[in-house]
Amino acid sequence: MQITKDDLIQDIKIEVFTQKYGAKPTIDGLKIIELKKFSGEDGTFEELLRINDQGNLEIFPDFHLMQVNRSKLLPGAIKAWHIHLNQEDIWYADPEDHMLLGLWDIREDSSTKNTKFKLVLGAGVSRLVYIPRGVAHGVVNISNNPGTVIYFVNKQFNIQSPDEYRLPWDKIGKEFWECEKA
């Protein structure tokens, strides 16, 4: 026998919803590259980046790598929001970690202006995320263990003139950084 939402308890049927499984809205210029992870009896291997003879990344040919950084986050730590006007980032989190990357397109002339996007980093998956300049970004460690983000940048950090602008971590609401509950 088939039933409908009308056959549910009154208090429940007004709150029941269908989870969305389609593609999430993305941000113009954002690139997400799934990496291959090889497992063997002795452990795992992942190739993160290849650099060509001109010093550019093969997978991102217009990206000229200038610095590699590592950030360690304690459980529950939120590092957000920050924006670069002259730099692009490529982010990577170890598959054994579990991070939530937040992205917010704050570029006035972008076709995806004001789009907010969340992406899980780690959680058994190996991927690179290219973040265009002008896209605010941040991360929260949603696991119970410390986690690490490695990020590759195409401008060296200059302490005299940092290309790092900040917004309050909760600018679009503290609930943005919480895991969706269904």
- Digit-by-digit pLDDT tens for the chain (182 residues) are 888 888 888 888 788 777 777 777 789 999 999 999 888 899 989 999 998 888 889 999 989 999 999 999 999 999 999 999 999 999 999 999 999 999 999 999 999 999 999 999 999 999 999 999 999 999 999 999 999 999 999 999 999 999 999 999 999 999 999 987 76
Distance CA 37, CA 112 (A): 32
Residue 25 contacts by C-beta under 8 Å, 6 or more apart in sequence?
112, 115, 117
Look at residue 128 and tell me if it is in a domain.
yes
Distance CA 147, CA 25 (A): 27
Look at residue 125 and tell me if it is in a domain.
yes
Range of the domain at 93: 23-35+67-170
Tally of structural domains, the chain: 1
Look at residue 175 and tell me if it is in a domain.
no
Question: Which pLDDT does position 22 carry in this prediction?
Answer: 72
Look at residue 98 and tell me if it is in a domain.
yes
SS3 12: helix
Look at residue 80 and tell me if it is in a domain.
yes
Question: Which pLDDT does position 182 carry in this prediction?
Answer: 62
**Which CATH number is 103's domain given?**
2.60.120.10
Question: Which pLDDT does position 9 carry in this prediction?
Answer: 83
Q: For residue 83, which phi and psi values (nearest 5 degrees)?
A: -135, 140
